[in-house]
């Protein structure tokens, strides 16, 4: 989205030489960048809103967890099982937010009018295709990792909270998306 913004600004303000120089680095030979959307498509808007929603969900979860939040699985003496807020709807709402952010990012970058599609990177060089493939593969791998992480986290929580965890699982049946998973 940042590259698209810079290219759009370079067309909007053609007299600003710095923007013209930046555009020359962002576009591959034979590609003008004129197809980079100056007005966002509905899919771009929807995907952007989902990315923002995912971020809001994650921040809300971090706030709800407070000092219980960690990036690695750990347990502190006296720690309690959080069951309020978004955790009363799904067991792993922070991961719901992550998937809502990561999935639409792929859509944004592959949609018509995006820098990836319109800059020539996918057609001009083998390295461009490799970089794009690695990036998209990495995004897909992160989504997969979230799903795998959920299973190990649930085993950890069962070990730490025992019967309380089992009751919570009965009350909040879904891991990621209500009615689905």
Q: Is the pLDDT of residue 9 over 90?
A: no
Whole-angstrom distance, CA of residue 115 vs CA of residue 110: 9
Per-residue pLDDT reduced to its tens digit, 79-138: 788 888 899 999 999 999 998 988 888 888 877 777 777 777 777 678 777 877 888 888
pTM flag (> 0.85) = no
Is there a contact between 26 and 115 (Cβ–Cβ < 8 Å)?
yes
Domain boundaries along the sequence of the chain = 40-171
Burial class (CB in 10 A: 0-12, 13-18, 19+), 46: middle
Identify the band that residue 39 occupies on the pLDDT scale cut at 50, 70 and 90. low
């Amino acid at each position: 989205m940042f590259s698209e913004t810079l290219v759009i600004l370079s067309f909007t303000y053609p007299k600003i030489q710095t923007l013209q120089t930046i555009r020359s680095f962002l576009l591959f030979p034979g590609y003008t960048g004129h197809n980079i959307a100056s007005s966002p498509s509905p899919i771009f808007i929807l995907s952007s809103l989902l990315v923002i929603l995912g971020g809001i969900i994650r921040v809300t979860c971090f706030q709800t967890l407070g000092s219980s939040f960690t990036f690695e699985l750990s347990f502190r003496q006296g720690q309690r099982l959080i069951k309020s807020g978004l955790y009363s709807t799904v067991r792993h709402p922070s991961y719901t937010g992550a998937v809502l952010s990561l999935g639409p990012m792929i859509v944004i970058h592959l949609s018509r009018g995006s820098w990836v599609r319109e800059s020539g990177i996918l057609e001009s060089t083998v390295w461009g295709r490799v970089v794009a493939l690695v990036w998209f593969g990495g995004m897909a791998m992160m989504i997969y990792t979230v799903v795998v992480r959920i299973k190990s986290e649930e085993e950890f929580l069962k070990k730490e909270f025992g019967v309380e965890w089992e009751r919570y699982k009965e009350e909040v049946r879904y891991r990621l998306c209500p009615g689905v998973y």
